[in-house]
């Protein structure tokens, strides 16, 4: 069976079950029985036919990352985001992961800019508390070439946002100010 025939049959089932109508109305749906790449095909097909943003929630990180990678590859236009959950190393549950925090902020920024068609996350990711949209807008710092700013107030603002001041920048979330030169590890 060709891919086009599979898509047509899948879309026919979506319409017969009223899934398309439920999604357009903003209702959430729970899907079972889509194995392997059918999940990816379903997400890309729903967006392609309905042109509505989609939030796809999966039970575990591995499955969510796998589907995200496939959807991102299939859509191929950077309109897919992965919002990581709070899954972490059980040995160090209190340790923050700057990379995951950065990924979350990137997704939130892209959502505000209406750049994302599909966001993939985990059950833990959907439960994370996030700042309200106006807080994100008010705390955004935009830098540009030839922009003049007060370096010391800028460092103070970065520290308020959670950066730590170090003598040498070696990890995400660190800044270093030495002789008028500011190093920032985003």
pLDDT tens-digit map of 112-137: 888 998 999 999 999 988 888 888 88
DSSP H stretches of helix in 37-163:
38-50, 61-75, 98-112, 123-127, 133-138, 151-160
CA distances from 172 to 36, 39, 77, 79 (A): 35, 33, 27, 25
Confidence at residue 50, expressed as pLDDT on a 0 to 100 scale = 85
Place of tokens 């985001």: 81
In which band, very low, low, confident or very high, does the pLDDT at 95 lie, cut at 50, 70 and 90?
A: low
Beta bridge partners of 121: 57, 83
Contacts of residue 122, defined as CB under 8 A and 6 or more positions apart, other chains included, come to 57, 58, 59, 60, 61, 64, 84, 85, 87
Q: How much is the CA Rg of the chain, to the nearest whole Å?
A: 21
Is pTM, for the whole model, over 0.85? no
The pLDDT mean for the chain works out to 85
Convert 92-127 to b/e letters by CB count within 10 Å (16 or more is b). Answer: eeeeebbebeeebbebbebbeeeebbbbbbbebbee
8 Å CB contact between 121 and 64 = yes
Residues 177, 130, 77, CA angle at the centre, nearest 5°?
Answer: 85
Q: How far apart are CA 147 and CA 155, in angstroms?
A: 15
Contacts of residue 171, defined as CB under 8 A and 6 or more positions apart, other chains included, come to 98, 185
Indicate the CATH number of 3-135 among 3.40.50, 1.10.150, 3.30.70, 3.40.1350.
3.40.50
Question: Which range has the worst mean pLDDT, 8-12, 60-64, 165-169?
Answer: 8-12
* Extents of the domains making up the chain: 3-135, 143-185
Phi, psi of 82 (to 5 degrees): -115, 120
pLDDT in tens, 55-91: 999 989 999 999 999 999 988 888 999 999 876 544 4
Confidence at residue 77, expressed as pLDDT on a 0 to 100 scale = 87
Q: Residue 152, SS3?
A: helix
């Amino acid at each position: 069976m060709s891919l086009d025939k599979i898509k047509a049959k899948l879309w026919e089932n979506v319409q017969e079950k009223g899934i398309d109508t439920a999604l357009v109305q903003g209702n959430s749906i729970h899907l079972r029985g889509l194995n392997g790449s059918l999940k990816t095909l379903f997400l890309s097909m729903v967006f392609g036919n309905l042109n509505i943003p989609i939030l796809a929630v999966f039970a575990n990180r591995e499955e969510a990352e796998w589907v995200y990678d496939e959807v991102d590859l299939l859509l191929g236009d950077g309109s897919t985001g992965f919002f990581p959950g709070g899954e972490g190393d059980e040995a160090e549950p209190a340790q923050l992961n700057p990379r995951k925090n950065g990924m979350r902020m990137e997704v939130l920024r892209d959502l505000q800019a209406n750049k994302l068609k599909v966001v993939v996350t985990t059950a833990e990711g959907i439960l994370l508390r996030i700042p309200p949209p106006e807080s994100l807008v008010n705390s955004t710092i935009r830098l540009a070439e030839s922009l003049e700013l007060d370096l010391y107030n800028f460092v103070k603002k970065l520290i308020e946002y959670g950066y730590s001041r170090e003598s040498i920048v070696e990890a995400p979330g660190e800044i270093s100010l030495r002789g008028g030169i500011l190093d920032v590890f985003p």
